Structure 1
């Protein structure tokens, strides 16, 4: 028995019995939607490049980076709040350990950001589910960036060691705030929707 079907529009009789053809995500959603995917890919890549540039500049200026951390950890020149409930240290080994943690964090952000940007670019024409799954490394990069710049610099540096009291510390704290916020906004923009 034949099932009834709607009469095809005039001139379209040849296509009425063909199965619907697969339409790539870009065509199905429009060029603007595709552009948003490219923007998300680029922003995640920039999180990685940003961290990579800082890590490489810190390595190129390793003695100055160590000196800056030693200065912050020592509590030198803290006139506004000279006392602390915690500790200050002039131990150069602790400054090297802190620098190693910062560099490891920056390099981890760089790795996941660059990988995340590539993963999103590679999935740009995929389904919503495929593109959403490709966000994993990018979200890890943005989360690690928040950990490095909010956690290390703002929580430990600015609050614990009160680096806001010196021009060197204030510059680092303000920079860390900008980097943390840029990473947070990028993470929200990238992960707010499936695409």
Structure 2
């Protein structure tokens, strides 16, 4: 049962990322607008100054959105593959099952890079997105997903299978 839970949780990391990526594509103008709004520093009343930079450059916003989408699709690929790999190895030896964790751990690590690294480190800290309602919503969602991915990674990495 533990092996099936690990497989399902890794699969959900992948599906979660896939759903976000596809929703971002379905709402590409809104996704770009939200990202451009955050990096522009608009409506930052609490901490209006920055030691870094703000950007109103549409190319910068597109590049950032492209990076997010690549990250989300990468998490989706490795999560779905990792869930499948674990499912296939559910009756295998402990060593084989442990080896099947590779893609799942990569998915969880990439999820941390996307939602902790991109959204929380750059979005929340660098661009101070916590100062706006749009930014706060994105930051809170990123925190929930990053922490769920981190906990899943720890659970999956346990070798007592």
TM over 0.5: yes
- Map 1:22-171; keep pairs closer than 5 Å: 35-171=1-137
Structure 1 unaligned segments of length 5 or more: list them. Answer: 1-34
Under a length normalisation based on structure 2, what TM-score does the superposition of the two structures give? 0.99
Under a length normalisation based on structure 1, what TM-score does the superposition of the two structures give? 0.82
Partner of 1:18: none
Query: C-alpha deviations, 1:141-182, integer Å up to 9, x for none?
Result: 000000000000000000000000000000000100000000
Query: 2: CA distance between counterparts of 1:63 and 1:75?
Result: 19
Q: Which has the higher contact order (CA 8 A, sep 6+)?
A: 2
Structure 2 unaligned segments of length 5 or more: list them. Answer: none
Query: 1: CA distance between counterparts of 2:47 and 2:53?
Result: 13
More helix by share: 2
Query: 2: CA distance between counterparts of 1:174 and 1:56?
Result: 20
What is the count of residue pairs matched by the alignment?
A: 161
Query: 1: CA distance between counterparts of 2:138 and 2:158?
Result: 30
Query: 2: CA distance between counterparts of 1:94 and 1:194?
Result: 46
CA RMSD of aligned residues (A): 0.5
